[in-house]
Amino acid sequence: MITKNSCPCGSTRTFSDCCAPILQDPALASTAEMLMRSRYTAFVQKNTTHILATWHSRLRPPSVDFDHKIKWTGLAIHEVTGGTASDITGVVEFTATYIEGDHLCRLTERSDFEKKDGLWFYAGGKTELHRQKIARNSSCPCGSGKKAKRCCLC
């Protein structure tokens, strides 16, 4: 169960013991998965500084614009290849879910990470997006237990 102190990245740890330190200092991400989880949390929190700082310089956009109508609802890690403290590259495959308007969206990505000067950076990836209309009387996909029409579709 997710509580107000749970880390948005979906780990079993509290935010203060999980992504919070990495958001303050990306050097604390010793693995590609840790960096990817912190980047998801940064998207949830609309933390532009962390997202840009952890994007590989050869691919980094000049800015990040957030759609304030998006509500992030979860992260599932499917596979991690490499990306350990002793590797210089890694791949993390995950699905991030979010609600946009009256749609549940599932963004599946196979992300590439590279280590440069001892720090992990996001180096692009292949994405696939699925959108599904949310029925107003169904359970809200945010996990609140309420009907969608009384929760995120209000």
Q: What is the pLDDT of residue 1?
A: 40
Model pLDDT, residue 136 = 87
Q: Which of 100, 60, 76 is nearest to 9 (CA)?
A: 76
Beta carbons of 39 and 53 less than 8 angstroms apart: no
CATH of the domain at 136: 3.10.450.50
Count each helix (H run) and each strand (E run) in the chain, helices first.
3, 4
- Taking the complete model, does pTM exceed 0.85, yes or no? yes
pLDDT tens digits, residue range 62-92? 999 988 889 999 999 999 999 999 999 999 9
Number of domains in the chain: 1
Average pLDDT over residues 128-132: 96
- Host domain of residue 96: 15-150
Examine residue 101 and state whether it is found in any structural domain, yes or no: yes
pLDDT at 3 exceeding the cut of 80 = no
What number is the average pLDDT over the span 10-28?
96
